[in-house]
Every structure is written in C-alpha cells, then in structure tokens.
Structure 1
Amino acid sequence: MQFLKQSEDALKDKRRMRWACRRGMLELDVLFAPFVEEAYDQLTAEQQAVFRRLLTCDDPDLFAWFMGHQACPDPELAGMVELMLKRVKV
C-alpha cells in the first residue's frame, strides 16, 4: 500500500512539473518539456528540488541564462541550467 501511495505522489509531481514547464516563451518550452519527460525521473531528490526552484524563476531570466546572455547568480540553478543544456546538445 505504501508503494502505491509513492507511485501516486510521483505521478502527481510529474503532472505538476509538466504544467510548470509550460512557459510564456517557446524557446523555454522546447527546453523544459522534453527535460521533464526524459530526464526528471532520473534526477536525485536534491536535483529535482533545484529543478523545481528553477521553474519559479522569471522567463526573461531563464531565457538569458539558457541563451548565454547572462550568468545565473545562483550556483545550484546555474548547475541545473548547465545540466539541461548538456542534455540538449547530446
């Protein structure tokens, strides 16, 4: 029964992540949506927490960080940006 509860919680979390990945900019949508579908489940709990925090950032900041126009001032978030960009380039 505990396993079933964990599975339900994981599904709810994944749905929330999918919804949060719907951004106001297409450029961000094409980065975030595939990442959630293909990589989110393989992240550690700590990485998932950083990713969720990244999703709370404003779109203009995210765009600047992902396009390399600006450095992310938060080292954890910068690491997540780098991880996501590496996955895109592979």
Structure 2
Amino acid sequence: MQATDTPDEPLGVRALSKLKWRCRRGLLENDLFIARFFERHESRLTVGQARAMETLMDLSDPDLLDLLLRRKEPEPALAGAGVVDLLRLLRV
C-alpha cells in the first residue's frame, strides 16, 4: 500500500500477499477468524480495509481475540479508519 492509494481502491495482489503474511498470529483462535475472513473477502478487499486490518494487527493476541469474540469493543482511538466495519466482517 502506498500513501497515495485511496481507501476504496482494490488491494493489489502484492499488497494482499504482504497483508496475509502480516496477519499471521501466535494464537490459533485469531488465525481461524482471520483465515475465514480472507476466504470470504480477499477477492474484494480494499486499501481502506487493509489499513484497518494493519491497525488490528498492531494489537496483542489477547486484545485482538477479545474484540473478535465481542468481549469488548474497540476503544475510541482504535474505532476509526474502518476498524469497526472490518471487525463486523471478521466476526461473521
């Protein structure tokens, strides 16, 4: 992804590959959510969604799992940039 990419632009093949590598987690439960997400949505993933995923990947495994299992909602600082919308897709 480049800074000039627009959020609604489709994610390129190379950027998708890098994102999938970045999304590998140490906790199996997180990997299962993420793998299912990519199976369903990778063909239409946008730059904005990839940026939101990068934001989520900065979280610790336990914090990410809490969000995925709806044990907590994202804090206001995290809730922007499409993170809430992406979480909806990840949780389905």
Q: Could you state the TM-score of these two structures normalised by the residue count of structure 1? A: 0.69
Over aligned residue pairs, what C-alpha RMSD do you find?
2.0
Distance of 1:81 and 1:20 partners within structure 2: 17
Matches within 5 A, 1:1-90: 10-73=12-75, 74-75=78-79, 76-86=82-92
Equivalent residues, number: 78
Q: Which runs of 5+ in 1 are unaligned?
A: 1-8
Q: CA distance change for structure 1 residues 41 and 54 in 2, over 3 Å: closer, same or farther?
A: farther
The answer on whether the counterparts of 2:69 and 2:91 sit within 8 Å (CA) in structure 1 is no
AA matched with 1:83: L
Q: Percent identity?
A: 26
Greater helix share, structure number: 1
* Farther-moved stretch of structure 1 (46-55 vs 56-65): 46-55
TM-score normalised to the size of structure 2?
Answer: 0.68
Q: Which runs of 4+ in 1 moved over 3 A?
A: none
Q: For residues 47 and 17 of structure 2, what CA distance do their matches in structure 1 show?
A: 17
Q: Unaligned stretches of 5+ in structure 2?
A: 1-10
